[in-house]
Amino acid sequence: MWFQQLGRGVSVALLLLASLAALAQVPLSQHVVLVIDENTTFNDVIANMPWLVSKGNANGYASNYHSDNSGSLMDYLWLASGSCHSSANCTLPAGTHNFNCSGNDCYYPETTTTDPITDDNIFRLMNNAGVSWKVYAQSYALAGGTPTTADNQNGTFYYRRHNAATWYSDVLNNVDGSASKVVDLSELAIDVAKGTLARFTIIVPDGNHDAHDCPVGMVTCSVAQNLASADKFLSSTLSPILSGTDFKPGGSGLLFVTFDECASGTNQGCGASVYLAVIGPQVKPHTISVLPYKHENTLRTLLAALGINTLPGAAATAVEMSDFFTTSGNKPLVAVGSPAKGGTVGPSLTIQASAVPTVNHAITGWYVYVDDAPVYDAQSVAAINPVLNMNLGTHTVLVRTWDSSGAFGDRSFSVTVVPKPIVAVGTPSNYANVGSPVNIRASASPTAGHTISGWWIYADGAGAFSAGAGSAINASLPLKAGAHNLLVRAWDTSGAYGDRTLSVQIH
């Protein structure tokens, strides 16, 4: 029997976050919709957007919600992958890396060449989980209609920096047809009328309709005129969706409307709160949340509503916005942060799970079952992190915890175990004594039926190089003199990855 205890380094704050995350009862939704408007304070929304405010009042809204960064694109990235992806502009959350992003772009230093973001993101996670999705961008077709179409192309008010999907390698490399899922807004009415709305929808208004620029035909405008145009767009665009069956009583539809930041200009900060409305039949009517939420909380809540348990970036430690929904407290509640439900994994599977007991009780034990056979157990800890070795094929995993009331709570999911990609490093050899920069040449063989989708090289545990799809890499890493541990990792389109580790001495 293996009992895993939490180390002394785990802070009370982290335990509280784990407990709150487990307590969250965000209901699954058949249709989740996200709309992001621009550069507006909470108070200006309340004063000038009557349609949106009426929906927020009837359903729910957050009064203590703040953006993460000053600069549009970075806030959109927080909502999609839980990071600003810029070491110069934020402390990079665990699992995320520097892709040289700013409020306007993500470029390789000293170039105008896009630095594709290869970290986990909501679009990749939905592809891996088989969740349908589509991004509807206003003026997209007229601007050029490709993921790399730049801001204001062809005289439009389309902004790529307001369309987060187009900065991720999954879309730029058209993984699983992702590029074709970014379409012009004109297709939304067609899909709504046909009843073919995807499970997850992002609506991207152009600058004339998201409060970034003045309304059509106006060169200068007041805040009231600007927000009136944005409010009218929301009303005309979202009303057909809200009149659908899934947003009527008994349905499961869920709509989020928020703002990237509160500034008057894209790259100006202001520190005031922004407005977030949470709308749907499963939202507790007239909810006003005063909890301190940010974009990563919205990301975690979106993923929970879609049934996705893999949590990228800061979403892994953010709490779900459960106060907008009805909760139940008659049994322990279990949250599984990893792996993703229905996803593919390698033969070595790490499970990250946490739990909160019923009121006035404590967690007393855990069991993990694979295909109904017990494979792991633990005692009275708030979270577990076991590593399981599993055979190839599809398996059902059940995570169960008990508390001192005698009640237990479960979370079950299926995973498919596939072989890992095989990574070979041609140079340098293990324990080589080389100069800096060190040249690393590696190749990888994907699992059957798949292709290599991305690469990372870690030097002493820190990300030092990344690349997109391709069977081989040729990297040049500047390293200080001394001994270093390198890890070369390649992913394939099954979601599995393979590693090769080596040590080098830099003279």
70 and 188 co-located in one domain: yes
What is the rounded CA–CA span in Å between residue 131 and residue 201? 11
Tell me what pLDDT residue 270 has. 63
Q: Is residue 111 part of a domain?
A: no
| DSSP letter for each residue of 135-187 | EEETTHHHHT-STTPPTTGGG----GGG-GGGGBHHHHTTGGGGGGGEEETHH
Q: Provide the residue type at 488 as one letter.
A: V
What is the rounded CA–CA span in Å between residue 277 and residue 42? 11
Torsions phi, psi for 336 (to 5 deg): -110, 115
Q: Is residue 107 part of a domain?
A: no
3-state class percentages of the chain: helix first, strand second, coil last, to nearest 5: 25, 30, 45
400 and 475 co-located in one domain: no
Closest residue by Cα to residue 230 from 64, 75, 69, 39:
39
Q: Is residue 368 part of a domain?
A: yes
Helices 186-194 and 223-242: crossing angle in degrees, nearest 10, is 30
3-state class of 223 per DSSP? helix
What is the rounded CA–CA span in Å between residue 230 and residue 130? 33
Q: Is residue 459 part of a domain?
A: yes
Report the DSSP pairing between strands 133-137 and 200-204. parallel
Give the CATH number of the domain where residue 380 resides: 2.60.40.10
Closest residue by Cα to residue 358 from 335, 336, 328:
328
Torsions phi, psi for 453 (to 5 deg): -110, -15
pTM: 0.64
Element (H, E) at 454: strand 452-459
Count of alpha carbons within 13 Å of 405, Cβ hemisphere only?
Answer: 14
3-state class of 98 per DSSP? coil
Tell me what pLDDT residue 264 has. 56
232 and 372 co-located in one domain: no
Residue 75, exposed/middle/buried by CB under 10 A (0-12, 13-18, 19+)? Answer: buried
Tell me what pLDDT residue 3 has. 25
222 and 176 co-located in one domain: yes
3-state class of 469 per DSSP? coil
339 and 271 co-located in one domain: no
Would you say 243 and 281 are in contact if contact means Cβ atoms under 8 Å apart? no
Would the CA dihedral through 385, 386, 387, 388 be positive or negative?
A: negative
150 and 239 co-located in one domain: yes
Domain boundary among 290, 324, 358: 324
State the residue for tokens 């229905």: 342
Domain boundary among 369, 387, 417: 417
Give the CATH number of the domain where residue 256 resides: 3.40.720.10
pLDDT by residue, tens only, the chain of 507 residues? 222 222 323 333 333 343 443 344 788 899 999 999 999 999 999 999 999 999 999 999 999 999 998 889 999 999 999 999 999 889 999 999 999 999 999 999 888 888 899 999 999 999 999 999 999 999 999 999 999 999 999 999 999 999 999 999 999 999 999 999 999 999 999 999 999 999 999 999 999 999 999 999 999 999 999 999 999 999 999 999 999 999 998 888 999 999 999 875 444 456 678 999 999 998 989 999 988 899 999 999 999 999 898 999 999 989 889 889 865 456 787 878 777 667 667 777 888 888 878 778 889 999 999 988 889 999 888 889 898 888 888 898 989 888 887 777 888 888 888 788 889 999 999 989 999 999 999 999 988 888 999 999 998 878 889 999 999 999 999 999 999 989 999 988 877 788 888 999 999
351 and 494 co-located in one domain: no
Q: Is residue 426 part of a domain?
A: yes
313 and 356 co-located in one domain: no
Residues 6 or more apart whose CB falls under 8 angstroms from that of 117 comprise: 77, 81, 85, 99, 101, 106, 167, 168, 169
What is the rounded CA–CA span in Å between residue 507 and residue 403? 56
3-state class of 346 per DSSP? coil
Q: How many domains are there within the chain?
A: 3
Domain boundary among 374, 398, 417: 417
Q: Is residue 150 part of a domain?
A: yes
242 and 160 co-located in one domain: yes
Dihedral, CA atoms, 5, 6, 12, 15, nearest 10 degrees?
Answer: -90
234 and 370 co-located in one domain: no
Tell me what pLDDT residue 356 has. 78
Q: Is residue 99 part of a domain?
A: no
261 and 367 co-located in one domain: no
Q: Provide the residue type at 194 as one letter.
A: K
3-state class of 78 per DSSP? helix
Count of alpha carbons within 13 Å of 335, Cβ hemisphere only?
Answer: 32
Q: Is residue 253 part of a domain?
A: yes
Residue 498 belongs to domain spanning: 422-506
344 and 458 co-located in one domain: no
What is the rounded CA–CA span in Å between residue 175 and residue 166? 12
